[in-house]
Amino acid sequence: MNYKTEFANGTATVELSGRFTFGDHSSFRKLIEEMRTHQAKTHVLDVAAIEFIDSAGLGMLLLARDEGEKSNTSVILKGAQGQVKRMLEVARFDTLFKLED
């Protein structure tokens, strides 16, 4: 997984790309720390360029949500498609996150 972060107007937008799997745990933790330091009110995780996600990747998205709740920050998942969208639907992430197309 690769990521690029932009901060503007109280919103942190993170564009994720590649495969999002167990092997990305340490880099995702780094991303969470980076997001925490900028104290945005909204975090948008743009997953449109994620081509594959496994259960560990889903778990890491839940970690991001938990961190958001600690700092009263909303976390939005944006642009899911293909296998990623199916995984989010099966895992009922629509009940845990705001999902945007």
> In this structure, how many other beta carbons lie within 10 angstroms of the beta carbon of residue 34?
14
Q: Which CATH superfamily is domain 2-100 in?
A: STAS domain (3.30.750.24)
Residue 39 has pLDDT above 90, yes or no: no
pLDDT in the model for residue 60: 97
46 with 13: CB under 8 angstroms?
Answer: yes
68-85 pLDDT, tens digit each: 999 899 999 999 999 999
Torsion of CA 34, 56, 49, 80, to 10 degrees: -110
* Local structure of 39: helix, strand or coil: coil
pTM of the predicted model as reported, rounded to 2 decimal places: 0.94
Domain ranges of the chain: 2-100
